[in-house]
C-alpha cells in the first residue's frame, strides 16, 4: 500500500484490523496486570510500593507521551511511528516478563508505557487518514469496541493466563503474550500500512521541544499525585497540581507564540478554539472516562476482598459490560453519521441507569447472588458505554484537518487518561469512605456508584449542550473539510 490511498482498496480494513490489535494490547496492559500483583510480589519479593508502580508507572508514562507521539506521527508519518512504537512495546513486554527483580520490572513497565503512549495516537490518526464519511464512523466504531473490550476484559484475561500457567510464573506470561502477537502485527503492518510522502523540511524544524517540555511537566503534575493516590500521593504531592496550572498556561502562551511566528507547534491550541466540536467533545470524553474507568477497581475490591471471589470470578462478573459495549460500539459506528450526538445522549443515559441499578440492587442481595444481580445492569451500562466512546471520538475529530489527526487524537486521549486517573482516585476514596462509615463493603459499593453516576451525569449535561449547538454548525462533509483546513494552515 503506497502513500496514495484508494478509498475502494479493501486492504484499508485489514490494516485497521492490525493496528487495532496492537492498540488492544497496549490498552489491555493498563488493567491486565492488576490480578497478577500478588503473584509478582511473591515471586520477586517486591514491596507494596514497588508492585503499585508496576501499574501506576505504566499509566503515568502512557499519559505523558500521547500528544508528543501524535505529533511525531503527523510529522514522520504514522506508519513509521506505528512500527517504531510497536517494536518498542514488544521489546519492553519481553523485558518485563523476564524481570529478575522489582527494579527491572518497574523500569520495563515505565518504558512499556511510553511505547504504548506513542502507539495509541497512531490508531486515530490512521483512521482519519484511511477513511472518510460514513466509513470513518464504522472504523471509529471498531476502535470504540477495542477500547471498551480492553478496559473491561483485562481482569478476565489476566486471571485466565495465571490460571493456565500457574501462580509462580503465570504473571510473566501476562507480559510474554504480547511478544508473538506483536511480532505478527509488525510483519502485517509493514506490508499493509501506507508509506508517508518523503519529507522536504528538516525534522528539527517540525518539532517543538519547548512545548514538549512544558506540556510534559504540566501533565506530570496532574497525573503523578493521582496515580500515587493509593500511597498518599494526593497528600504528599498536593503542590504538583498547583504547579501544573502556571505550566499549562505557559504552554498555551508558548504555542500561540510559535503559531504567530509561523513555526510548527506541538499542539495548535486553535484546535480547541477554532475547530467546532473539538473542545466540548474532548471534555465529554475526559469526564466520561472519569466516571466509568474507576468502577473496575471498585468491582475488583468489592467482589474479591469483600465477597471472597477469585480474580477470574471477579473478572467474569464484569464481562456483560464488555459484551454490551463491544456490540453497541460496532453498531453505533455505523449509525453515528445519521444520528450524531443523539447516540452519545442515549449511551450516557443507559450508563447512568445501569450503574444506578448496580448501586441499589447489588448491596441488597446475598453474597452468592451479587454477581448475578450485577449482570443485567452492567450489560445495560455496557450497551450505553459502547454508544459513547466511538461516536464521541468520531464527532470530536470530524472537523480536524487530517494533517493534525495524530496530535488531535493524542490530546483527546490525554484528557481521557487524566480523567481515568481522577476517576480511579475519587471512586476508590469514596469506596473506602463507605466501608469506614460502618456500612461495610456494601456501603462502599453504593457510595462509589453514586460518585460514578454523578460524574457520568456531568458528561451527559455537556453532551446536551453540544447537541443543542451541533445543528447550527451541521453541513456537508466536503464543506466542513474545506472550512476547517483554512484557519490552521
More confident call, 193 vs 144: 193
The yes-or-no verdict on residue 7 having pLDDT over 60 is no
Backbone angles phi, psi at 143, to 5 degrees: -65, -45
List CB contacts of 378: < 8 A, sequence separation 6 or more: 317, 318, 320, 321, 324, 354, 358
- What is d(CA 331, CA 314) in angstroms, rounded to the nearest whole number? 28
226-237 confidence digits (pLDDT tens): 777 666 666 777
- Cut 0.85: pTM above it: no
Q: Which of 279, 146, 131, 117 has the alpha carbon at shortest distance from 194?
A: 131
11-192+266-483: what CATH class? Answer: mainly alpha
Give pLDDT, residue 472: 52
Question: What's the whole-number average pLDDT of the chain?
Answer: 84
Q: What percent of the chain has pLDDT over 90?
A: 32
Instruction: Decide: 247 and 217 in contact? Cβ < 8 Å.
Output: yes
The yes-or-no verdict on residue 139 having pLDDT over 90 is no
List CB contacts of 359: < 8 A, sequence separation 6 or more: 445, 446, 448, 449, 450, 453
Instruction: Decide: 136 and 17 in contact? Cβ < 8 Å.
Output: no
Instruction: Decide: 458 and 423 in contact? Cβ < 8 Å.
Output: no
List CB contacts of 250: < 8 A, sequence separation 6 or more: 214
Give pLDDT, residue 11: 80
Q: Residue 410 — pLDDT band, cuts 50, 70, 90?
A: confident
Instruction: Decide: 189 and 81 in contact? Cβ < 8 Å.
Output: no
Q: Give the least confident one: 32-46, 246-260, 341-355, 443-457.
A: 32-46
Q: Residue 89 — pLDDT band, cuts 50, 70, 90?
A: very high
What is the residue extent of each domain of the chain?
11-192+266-483, 208-265
Q: Which of 392, 399, 412, 281 has the alpha carbon at shortest distance from 332?
A: 392
Host H or E run for residue 322: helix 319-339
The yes-or-no verdict on residue 218 having pLDDT over 50 is yes
163-199 confidence digits (pLDDT tens): 788 877 888 999 999 999 999 999 999 998 888 776 6
- Which residue, chain included where needed, has cell 511525531? 72
Which three cell numbers mark 85?
512504537
Instruction: Please tell me the chain's helix, strand, coil percentages from 3-state DSSP, rounded to the nearest 5.
Output: 85, 0, 15
- What is d(CA 471, CA 344) in angstroms, rounded to the nearest whole number? 15
- What is d(CA 284, CA 393) in angstroms, rounded to the nearest whole number? 10
The yes-or-no verdict on residue 201 having pLDDT over 70 is no
Which three cell numbers mark 211?
512545548
- What is d(CA 266, CA 278) in angstroms, rounded to the nearest whole number? 17
List CB contacts of 55: < 8 A, sequence separation 6 or more: 33, 34, 37
The yes-or-no verdict on residue 403 having pLDDT over 50 is yes
Q: Which of 108, 136, 109 has the alpha carbon at shortest distance from 123?
A: 136
257-289 confidence digits (pLDDT tens): 988 888 878 888 888 888 888 999 999 999 999
Q: Residue 200 — pLDDT band, cuts 50, 70, 90?
A: low
Q: Residue 489 — pLDDT band, cuts 50, 70, 90?
A: very low
Measured in Å, how far apart are the chain's first and last C-alpha atoms?
28
Give whichever of 185-189, 295-299, 330-334 has the largest mean pLDDT: 185-189
Give pLDDT, residue 219: 87
The yes-or-no verdict on residue 438 having pLDDT over 80 is no
Give pLDDT, residue 460: 96
More confident call, 375 vs 11: 375
The yes-or-no verdict on residue 340 having pLDDT over 80 is yes
Task: Determine the longest span between alpha carbons in the chain, in angstroms.
Answer: 68
More confident call, 153 vs 409: 409
The yes-or-no verdict on residue 102 having pLDDT over 60 is yes
- Which residue, chain included where needed, has cell 475490591? 301
Which three cell numbers mark 292?
466509568
Give pLDDT, residue 476: 36
Instruction: Decide: 283 and 414 in contact? Cβ < 8 Å.
Output: no
Instruction: Decide: 387 and 353 in contact? Cβ < 8 Å.
Output: no
Which three cell numbers mark 144?
470504540
DSSP codes, 423-457: HHHHHHHHHHHHIIIIIHHHHHHHHHHHHHHHHHH
Mean pLDDT of 286-300: 87
Say whether 5 sits in a helix, a strand or coil. Answer: coil
CA angle (194, 196, 199) in 5-degree steps? 170
Q: Residue 482 — pLDDT band, cuts 50, 70, 90?
A: very low
Amino acid at each position: 500500500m503506497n502513500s496514495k490511498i484508494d478509498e475502494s482498496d479493501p486492504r484499508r480494513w485489514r490494516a485497521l484490523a492490525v493496528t487495532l490489535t496492537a492498540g488492544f494490547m497496549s490498552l489491555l496492559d493498563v488493567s491486565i496486570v492488576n490480578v497478577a500483583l500478588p503473584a509478582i510480589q511473591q515471586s520477586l519479593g517486591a514491596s507494596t510500593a514497588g508492585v503499585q508502580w508496576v501499574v501506576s508507572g505504566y499509566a503515568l508514562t502512557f499519559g505523558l507521551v500521547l500528544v508528543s507521539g501524535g505529533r511525531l506521527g503527523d510529522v514522520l508519518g504514522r506508519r513509521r511511528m506505528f512500527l517504531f512504537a510497536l517494536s518498542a512495546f514488544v521489546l519492553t513486554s519481553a523485558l518485563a516478563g523476564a524481570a529478575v527483580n522489582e527494579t527491572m520490572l518497574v523500569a520495563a513497565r515505565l518504558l512499556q508505557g511510553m511505547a504504548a503512549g506513542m502507539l495509541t495516537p497512531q490508531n486515530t490518526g490512521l483512521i482519519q487518514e484511511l477513511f472518510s464519511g460514513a466509513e470513518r464512523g464504522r472504523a471509529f466504531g471498531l476502535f470504540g469496541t477495542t477500547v471498551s473490550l480492553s478496559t473491561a476484559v483485562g481482569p478476565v484475561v489476566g486471571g485466565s493466563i495465571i490460571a493456565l500457567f500457574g501462580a509462580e510464573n503465570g504473571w510473566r506470561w501476562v507480559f510474554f503474550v504480547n511478544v508473538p502477537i506483536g511480532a505478527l502485527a509488525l510483519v502485517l503492518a509493514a506490508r499493509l500500512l501506507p508509506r508517508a510522502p518523503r519529507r522536504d523540511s528538516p525534522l528539527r524544524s517540525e518539532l517543538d521541544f519547548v512545548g514538549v517540555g512544558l506540556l510534559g511537566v504540566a501533565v506530570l503534575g496532574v497525573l503523578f499525585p493521582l496515580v500515587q493516590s493509593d500511597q498518599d500521593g494526593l497528600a504528599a504531592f498536593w503542590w504538583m497540581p498547583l504547579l501544573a496550572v502556571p505550566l499549562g498556561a505557559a504552554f498555551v502562551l508558548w504555542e500561540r507564540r510559535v503559531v504567530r511566528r509561523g513555526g510548527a507547534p506541538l499542539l495548535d491550541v486553535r484546535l480547541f478554539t477554532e475547530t467546532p466540536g473539538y473542545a466540548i467533545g474532548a471534555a465529554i470524553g475526559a469526564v466520561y472516562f472519569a466516571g466509568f474507568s474507576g468502577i473496575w477497581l471498585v468491582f475488583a475490591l468489592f467482589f474479591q476482598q469483600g465477597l471472597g471471589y477469585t480474580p477470574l470470578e471477579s473478572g467474569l462478573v464484569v464481562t456483560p459490560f464488555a459484551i454490551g459495549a463491544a456490540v453497541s460500539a460496532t453498531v453505533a459506528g455505523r449509525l453515528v453519521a445519521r444520528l450524531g450526538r443523539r447516540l452519545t445522549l442515549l449511551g450516557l443515559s443507559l450508563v447512568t441507569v445501569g450503574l444506578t441499578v448496580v448501586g441499589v440492587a447489588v448491596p441488597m442481595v446475598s453474597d452468592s447472588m451479587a454477581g448475578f444481580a450485577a449482570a443485567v445492569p452492567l450489560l445495560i451500562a455496557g450497551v450505553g458505554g459502547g454508544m459513547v466512546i466511538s461516536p464521541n471520538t468520531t464527532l470530536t475529530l470530524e472537523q480536524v484537518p487530517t494533517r493534525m489527526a495524530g496530535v488531535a487524537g493524542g490530546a483527546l486521549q490525554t484528557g481521557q487518561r487524566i480523567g481515568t486517573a481522577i476517576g480511579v482516585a475519587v471512586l476508590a476514596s469514596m469506596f473506602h469512605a463507605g466501608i469506614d462509615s460502618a456500612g461495610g463493603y456494601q456501603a462502599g459499593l453504593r457510595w462509589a456508584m453514586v460518585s460514578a453516576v454523578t460524574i457520568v451525569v456531568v458528561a451527559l449535561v455537556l453532551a446536551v449542550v453540544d447537541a443543542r449547538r451541533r445543528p447550527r454548525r451541521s453541513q456537508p462533509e466536503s464543506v466542513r473539510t474545506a472550512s476547517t483546513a483554512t484557519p490552521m494552515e
